Amino acid sequence: MSKYNSPVFPILPSFYENEVLDLESVSKYTSFLEENRVKRIMTTAGTSQFNLLNNDEIRDFNICVAKSFSGFKILTLPVLSKYHILKEVEFYNSLNLENTCLMFIFPDRFYSINQVYTYFKEIADKSIYPIYTHNNPIKKSKGGYYEYSQELIDLLATIPAYKGFKEENSSVDYLQVTSSTLVMVESLPDRNGKRHFFYSKRSFFALG
């Protein structure tokens, strides 16, 4: 059984009354989880609190989580242009964090499956860490929204550094969309009662 065999706990930002990020509380909470045998945590864009943070605050938040928890962690990066997200990858590479993966939100526009694949392939080639994707619906160039497909997942699964994804979509039917090389990992509900799902290569997670 893998030492990382546990639910994935989402870590929410904490704030002081003046709305300044409270990193001390974040550190205490992640340490508390580790002391109570939690093995996997993540920072997540699936919360309104995360979306209130600017890029510098997201860096501080992710670094605080990474340094106060020795187990496996997934750190979510903000939505940025490809140029700037690659610069963020360089920054996180310079930290040389242990037991860490990076999670990247889908680009803000969909033009083609190959465009999304190339976007994450370039990120994976730059990163020293394994990567995940947050598969949120994205606006199509001609209107409407694109939600991830079996074809895209199978293509992303060919990237060696790609380990899986967090799903987000408008239909429960999408829970059936998975590559034969991936398995689904479900976290505990967040504070709003929503469960988050991850799809990961079998070689990465051992499920009990």
Residues (pLDDT < 50) of the chain are 1-4, 186-190, 202-208
pTM attached to this predicted model: 0.81
- The angle that helices 55-67 and 82-95 make with each other, rounded to 10 degrees, is 30
**pLDDT value, residue 203:** 43
Q: What pLDDT shows up at residue 195?
A: 53
Residue 3: the pLDDT is 47
Residue 7 tokens read as: 């639910």
